[in-house]
Structure 1
Amino acid sequence: MIRNPWRHNEPLDHAELARLLPPPADPRLAADRQDLLEEYLMSEIHQSDHAPAGAAAPAASPARRRPLRRAVLFATPVAAAAALAVVVSVGGAPGTNTVAAPALVKAPVVQIEEGSTVQLASTVREIAAAATARTTPQPGPGQFVYIKSRVSFMSTRNNVDTGESTTWVQPLHDREVWKSPDGTKGWLDEPGYQDKGGITLDNKEPRKQSTYQWLAAQPSDPDALLKSVYATVSGDRDHDQQAFREIGSLIREQLVPSALAASLYQAVGKIPGVVVIEHAQDASGRDGIALARLDPQTGERSEWIFDRETHQYLGSRGVQVREFDGVKPGTVVEQTTIVTRAIVDAKNQRPGAGQATV
């Protein structure tokens, strides 16, 4: 989710972008903060900072951001800084493939359902058993993990004169990602939110925790696996929430081997604060049961939604439970749904007949 101040007819310039980044050589940058900066750069920086059609332009206010939940693309602040320079030159030059993002729409609001731990153990067992029963294809040399989803993330703009804020979201749109097993090669195509045709995710030093190879090497014991996940988080933010998000990013935009998927879900059941939501809808409107956790800092509840019968992962939803930074309770701040997960033979190739899908 992205929070932007309103700037009427004022493009995001280099100086403003630079303020969003830490000094490139700063070794103290927390891993979670580093991830947010990298994700922001590569997934959102091409968007035009414009209002939905017919919306009035409030006065500008300082940008305030909450954690994003997009796939991590780069591993170091230096790489993020280098990416900034590329983005500025590409996004600002006439005649490039950069396109204006579609007008935002008002965020949906839902009734907040209370979470419970009463059925947590049994729900986790059922989800883990279903994951074990599924056959997951294994990518070979030169192949790519392909994930197509439909997503919508939020952008809040505040009026400093009136103190009012309006919560907008991106229209639901397609997002396609290709990832090599080792994470060094990839592609992202998100029409309207990236350059026409997509952008490269190639990186010589990918963040290993986001790769298929790292996942395949993880222990299958839930306790050992959870310890491994906690070892990847750092900083001042709630470590339990970071661990929950770390696993959530893997099951949403990566291919997880069946046995490991089962262990991941069992590990999640051991994270303090995780609850079951009986009714939650993914971005396609499918009703399912969810594993969820409330972020104590932002008041946003992250929900992973599973089919009620098959316990297949459907997608995710972020719901504001406690008002924060002008976002009202019940506001849906993000929605995703998985359309296709597959193994393909080349970057930019989409699955066809005879190719393994999940």
Structure 2
Amino acid sequence: MDELTLVERLRSEIPADLDVAAAERRWRDRALAAGAPADSPAGTAAPARRRRPRRPLLLSGVAAAACATVGATVVATHQPAEPPPPPAAVGALLDQVADRAGTDPVPRPDQFVYQDTIELRRVMNTRRWYKDRNQSWISVDGSRTGLVRLKNWIRLGPDEGVPPDGDSVLKPCGQVPPIDRPYLGDVPADPDALLRLLATDGDGTRAERQWEAVIDLIDRPAPPAVRAALFRAIARISGVRLASDSVDAVGRHGVAVTRTRDGVREELVFDPVTHRYLGTRNVVTRSSDQLGKRGSTLFASALVRTSIVDKVPKAAPGADVSTC
């Protein structure tokens, strides 16, 4: 097989709706600006912050699409500490996702962001699942009392780690670092600054720390500019791949950006037409006694609805109280 045939085959595996040519042009511009020849050879290359109980790593991805197009992983030799540019298909998709996110409305400081999320979680070492609905009203400036409302649809015993039904009142934040706030209003709206911030905590390699932080932050509300920067930052994390088909917790199919670690592939699922973030899924990629068979799903989520509101519902009697 000659090189031209191989390149054509790789291109045929990339989803048709991804603007690969534009991504290649952006790569060429970056390479030339850095002083690297555009035809240079390809390079090679926790305690989580999450506020919810740590969930098992999610769903499997479909085969990583189109490794990368020619020259997509070139790195300027004078910047060895920086991760290589993303595969063209991943970068093209997340550019579209970021552009769409940047058009969302901006809430006022005195408002709340409402989110309605469904989660499916397999109880480890069993074939049983539980399903919950998580509704949250998050203060934009952190100075107002918010609310989280949890409803479990499938009952399991208290010894199986299932959080109880009910309301949790979120008191004002006070002096909390921006990265730890429920609303990411003060997090940098710049991909490079975000990448540095994402790598400051956790275990593992730089890319593993960044990805773990992304999984923690992806469901938190944020200003449109911050979410757009986060999506562009994800594309620059080493090891991310593209899955041409995935499915969220309510059955919506989409294209996914994935990364694999410790026998599990985590996927961030996006609508292939609107480029809206849909949810997540974790799938076993290496069979084990603890995780189960290869290809089995451990967890899936779906962001069903998000909106900007002016008020928070009254909490149920006996609601828990916590800081933000």
Using structure 1 for the length normalisation, give the TM-score.
Answer: 0.58
- Give the aligned length: 237
- The 5-angstrom pairing of residues 129-144 of structure 1 reads 129-132=99-102, 134-141=103-110, 143-144=111-112
Q: Share of identical aligned residues, percent? A: 25
Does 2:301 correspond to 1:336?
yes
RMSD (CA atoms): 2.9
Does 2:170 correspond to 1:211?
no
Q: Displacement, 1:336?
A: 0.9
Q: What secondary structure, in the 3-state scheme, does the structure 1 residue paired with 2:243 have?
A: strand
Q: Displacement, 1:195?
A: 4.8
Q: What secondary structure, in the 3-state scheme, does the structure 2 residue paired with 1:216 have?
A: coil
Task: Name the structure, 1 or 2, with higher relative contact order (CA <8 Å, separation 6+).
Answer: 2
Q: What letter is aligned with 1:33?
A: P
Residue 223 (structure 2) aligns with: 257
8 Å Cα contact 1:223/1:267 also seen in 2? yes
- The 5-angstrom pairing of residues 1-358 of structure 1 reads 32-33=46-47, 35=49, 39-40=52-53, 67-68=54-55, 113-116=62-65, 117-118=67-68, 119-132=89-102, 134-141=103-110, 143-157=111-125, 166-171=126-131, 173-183=132-142, 185-192=145-152, 195-202=164-171, 204=174, 206=176, 208-211=178-181, 215-231=184-200, 233-234=201-202, 236-252=203-219, 254-295=220-261, 298-324=262-288, 325-348=290-313
8 Å Cα contact 1:181/1:211 also seen in 2? no
8 Å Cα contact 2:60/2:297 also seen in 1? no
Q: What per-residue deviation string (whole Å, max 9, x for no partner) do you get for residues 154-189 of structure 1?
A: 2113xxxxxxxx333213x32111222354643221
Residue 12 (structure 1) aligns with: none
8 Å Cα contact 2:49/2:180 also seen in 1? no
CA gap of 1:126–1:336, structure 2 versus 1, over 3 A, is same
Take 2:150 and 2:240, find their aligned partners in 1: how far apart are those partners? 31
Q: Displacement, 1:196?
A: 4.8
Moved over 4 A (4+): 193-196, 203-207
Q: Displacement, 1:322?
A: 1.6
8 Å Cα contact 1:182/1:212 also seen in 2? no
Take 2:230 and 2:60, find their aligned partners in 1: how far apart are those partners? 29
Q: What secondary structure, in the 3-state scheme, does the structure 2 residue paired with 1:246 have?
A: helix
Instruction: In structure 2, list runs of 5 or more residues that go unmatched.
Output: 1-45, 69-88, 153-161, 316-324
Q: What letter is aligned with 2:267?
A: E
Take 1:144 and 1:343, find their aligned partners in 2: how far apart are those partners? 6
8 Å Cα contact 2:61/2:267 also seen in 1? no
Q: Displacement, 1:316?
A: 0.9
Take 2:263 and 2:90, find their aligned partners in 1: how far apart are those partners? 21
CA gap of 1:279–1:349, structure 2 versus 1, over 3 A, is farther
Q: Displacement, 1:219?
A: 3.2
Take 1:153 and 1:205, find their aligned partners in 2: how far apart are those partners? 33
CA gap of 1:333–1:286, structure 2 versus 1, over 3 A, is same
Take 2:122 and 2:174, find their aligned partners in 1: how far apart are those partners? 31
Q: Displacement, 1:317?
A: 0.8
Using structure 2 for the length normalisation, give the TM-score.
Answer: 0.64
8 Å Cα contact 1:304/1:315 also seen in 2? yes
Q: What secondary structure, in the 3-state scheme, does the structure 2 residue paired with 1:198 have?
A: strand
